[in-house]
Structure 1
Amino acid sequence: MRTGGIGGVIILIWLIIGAVAAGQRGYFNSSNDNCAKAGTTVVTVLAGPLNYLGVNPKVNCKVPQPSQ
């Protein structure tokens, strides 16, 4: 039984579909200069085919600033 191999292929296809969706949204065209853009790109890739079912994940994050 090679269920591990089949599962790995399914996960790989899932992530490829997510990367295609992120590319179509233009997330790879600009630099990810803050955590919100980078996080949104990562979550979009992880959402995979769900992007084509209407899921549009967004990440909002604020990095704490050092005290003065």
Structure 2
Amino acid sequence: MERYFFTFSIVSHGLGCARNNSPGFYTRISAHLEWLCEKVNHEGEPLSICFNDLSKFKKHVKTNKFQ
């Protein structure tokens, strides 16, 4: 059985995403899950599916790998 692990976070400050020698500040999303679900679930192209169980929380996004 294949297993996939995902990390979700809210970046409150930082330059880009996970750049070398550039710190970023993150927060635990469980405290903001309701707000996050409200913001990403909007009319149009679906960005995520939110569940009460974080193990089922899925978000599909396009990214630019390590710019």
TM category, shorter? under 0.3
> Which structure has more strand as a fraction of its residues?
2
TM-score, scaled to structure 1: 0.21
TM-score by length of 2: 0.21
RCO higher in structure (CA 8 A, sep ≥6): 1
Q: Which has the higher helix share?
A: 1
